[in-house]
């Protein structure tokens, strides 16, 4: 054992900043939140043990929990595929060897860098306000736009559009994947008189499947965790009519507005399990549609 440590000391020494951060700033709070999820804890008073009460209440009585789940699933199911389709479309357009490709990549990636920020959420609110840019443009054409953010019919869609706008990150990954597809395959297909649609479904999609899978998992997790846009646009409450009550917004309110830290911790663990479950499902389905080049047939 002593020999092992002597031999690996340098490695662990270099790793130590990360290890300290991981165990103190990540594992510690994670385990603490698991404990707190079984307690009543309002921050200003010591935790009181409740056992499974929070979980029972959540699933049996808490209608807002189910509403938050519904809104979040709606957001994930609509925004993730649209974002991936849009990102793939732009990546394919940029894969044509056009001039100044580097500038285009940077330009399209920019929203992803800004995307999760509070500033962009505030900008989005200004764009979609009743007197905002979108309605001003509509008025130029004689149309009167709705209250995009205050009408529950439209509010979620504004956030879906915001999510799609942040397509830069998956787009870059798609672009790298497209570059890795051998051109000979397309040339051979053309000799066989394959059209663009046939080439897309017979060559691009199968060979890009590992990248699509990677992007799908990443974007799905990101969508489940989406917070700042819904929080800023709904004024932190999930309004109107809880149409923007994302799971994270509900969790945040329970924790910091109502000081129900124990219940919020339970919500956080449920969210973790949901994300883990859907990630596992994605991995399970991947064996049916994702094929790797080095796989043996």
Partner 1 sequence: MQEFRLKKRVAGSLLATSILALSMAVLPNGAAAQDSDLQGEIRFSWWGGQVRNDKTDRIIQLFEGQHPNVSIVRENADWSPYWERLTIQSTGNNQPCAITMQTRWLATYARPDILMPLDELVENGTLDVSGIPEPVLNSARGADGNLYMIPHGVFYFALMYNEQMAQTAADAGVAPLDYPYTWDEFAEYLTAILPHLPEGAASVHNMGREQDAFVTWVQSHGEEVFDGSNVGFTKDVAVQWFEYWEALRTAGVTEPPEVMISDNSALIEESNIANNRGFMTNRPPNQLGSVQTTVDTVSPGTTIGITPYPVGPDGTVGMDIGANGIAIGASCDEARVPVAAEWINFWTQNEEAAGIYESDNGVVSIPALATAQAEDPDTQPTQVEHIELYQELIDTANPVFWPAGGYQALTDTLNRAYDAVAFGQLTPEQGADQLIADLQQQLSQAAR
Binding site for partner 1 (CB under 8 A): 40, 42-45, 129-131, 146-147, 149-152, 235-237, 239-242, 253, 256-260
In angstroms, give the least distance from the CB of 69 to partner 1. Answer: 17
Residue number with CB closer to partner 1 (4 or 61): 61
In angstroms, give the least distance from the CB of 97 to partner 1. Answer: 47
Residue number with CB closer to partner 1 (228 or 253): 253
Nearest-10 crossing angle of helices 118-128, 133-140: 30
In angstroms, give the least distance from the CB of 30 to partner 1. Answer: 17
In angstroms, give the least distance from the CB of 132 to partner 1. Answer: 10
Residue number with CB closer to partner 1 (149 or 267): 149
Rounded Cα distance between 119 and 99, Å, is 32
Q: Name the 3-class secondary structure at 52.
A: coil
Rounded Cα distance between 238 and 104, Å, is 36
Rounded Cα distance between 135 and 144, Å, is 7
Decide: 149 and 128 in contact? Cβ < 8 Å: yes
Decide: 115 and 87 in contact? Cβ < 8 Å: no
Decide: 84 and 164 in contact? Cβ < 8 Å: no
Residue number with CB closer to partner 1 (83 or 260): 260
Residue number with CB closer to partner 1 (224 or 263): 263
In angstroms, give the least distance from the CB of 115 to partner 1. Answer: 22
């Amino acid at each position: 054992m002593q020999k092992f440590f002597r031999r690996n000391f340098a490695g662990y020494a270099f790793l130590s900043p990360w290890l300290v951060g991981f165990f103190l700033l990540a594992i510690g709070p994670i385990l603490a939140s698991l404990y707190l999820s079984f307690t009543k804890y309002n921050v200003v008073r010591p935790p009181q043990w409740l056992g499974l009460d929070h979980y029972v209440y959540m699933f049996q009585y808490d209608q807002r929990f189910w509403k938050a789940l519904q809104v979040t699933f709606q957001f994930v199911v609509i925004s993730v595929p649209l974002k991936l389709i849009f990102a793939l479309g732009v990546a394919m357009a940029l894969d044509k060897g056009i001039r100044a490709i580097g500038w285009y990549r940077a330009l399209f990636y920019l929203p992803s860098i800004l995307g999760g920020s509070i500033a962009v959420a505030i900008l989005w609110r200004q764009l979609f306000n009743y007197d905002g840019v979108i309605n001003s443009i509509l008025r130029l054409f004689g149309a009167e736009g709705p209250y995009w953010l205050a009408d529950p019919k439209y509010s979620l869609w504004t956030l879906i559009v915001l999510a799609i706008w942040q397509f830069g990150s998956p787009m870059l990954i798609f672009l790298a994947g497209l570059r890795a597809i051998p051109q000979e395959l397309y040339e051979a297909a053309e000799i066989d008189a394959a059209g663009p649609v046939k080439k897309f479904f017979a060559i691009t999609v199968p060979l890009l499947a590992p990248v699509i899978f990677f992007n799908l998992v990443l974007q799905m997790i990101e969508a489940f965790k989406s917070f700042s846009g819904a929080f800023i646009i709904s004024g932190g409450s999930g309004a109107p009519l809880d149409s923007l009550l994302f799971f994270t917004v509900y969790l945040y309110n329970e924790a910091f507005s109502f000081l129900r830290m124990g219940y919020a911790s339970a919500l956080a663990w449920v969210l973790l399990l949901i994300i883990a479950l859907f990630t596992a499902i994605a991995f399970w389905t991947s064996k049916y549609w994702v094929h790797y080049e080095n796989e043996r047939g």
